[in-house]
Amino acid sequence: MMKPTYRLEDPDTEVYVGDCREVLNALPEKSVDLIFADPPFNWDVPYGEWDDSRPREEYLAFTHQWLDACLRVLNDHGSFWVNIPDDTAAEIVVHLKGRGLTLINWCIWHFRFGQHRNSNFIVSKVHALYFAKDRNNRIWVPEAVLEPSDRAAIYDDPRTRRTKRPGQRVPLDVWYGPLWGRIQGNNKERRKQHHNQIPEVYLERVIRACSHEGQLVLDPFLGSGTTCTVARALRRRSIGIEYSSRSALSAFERIQSGPVRLGPATSQTNSFMAHRKRGI
User: Is residue 269 included in any domain, yes or no?
Assistant: no
Give, for all 280 residues of the chain, the pLDDT tens digit: 789 999 999 999 999 999 999 999 999 999 999 999 999 998 888 777 788 889 999 999 999 999 999 999 999 999 999 999 999 999 999 999 999 999 999 999 998 766 777 888 988 899 999 999 999 999 999 999 998 876 655 666 666 665 667 678 899 999 988 888 777 777 676 777 767 788 999 999 999 999 999 999 999 999 999 999 999 999 999 999 999 999 999 999 999 999 998 886 566 656 555 556 655 4
The predicted model scores a pTM of 0.90
The verdict on residue 263 lying in a domain is no
Q: Report the alpha-carbon distance of residue 99 to residue 94 in Å, rounded.
A: 9
| Domain hosting residue 81, numbered range | 6-257
Output the pLDDT for position 173: 96
**Cα gap 146→154, rounded to integer Å:** 16
Residue 238 forms part of a structural domain: yes
- Report the alpha-carbon distance of residue 40 to residue 194 in Å, rounded: 12
Within a domain: 83: yes
Give the max Cα distance, the chain: 69
Q: In CATH, what number is assigned to the domain containing residue 209?
A: 3.40.50.150
Count of domains in the chain?
1
- In 41-189, the DSSP E strands lie at 74-84, 102-110, 125-132, 147-148, 168-169, 174-175
pLDDT at 161: 60
pLDDT of residue 182: 77
Question: How many other C-beta atoms are found inside a 10 Å radius of the C-beta of residue 119?
Answer: 5
Asked if the structure places residue 248 within a domain, the reply is yes
Residue 274, in any domain of the structure: no
Q: Is residue 49 part of a domain?
A: yes
Is 67 a domain residue? Answer: yes
| Per-residue b or e along 29-67, where b marks 16 or more CB atoms closer than 10 Å to that residue's CB | eeebbbbbbbbbbbeeeebeebeeeeeeeebbebbbebb
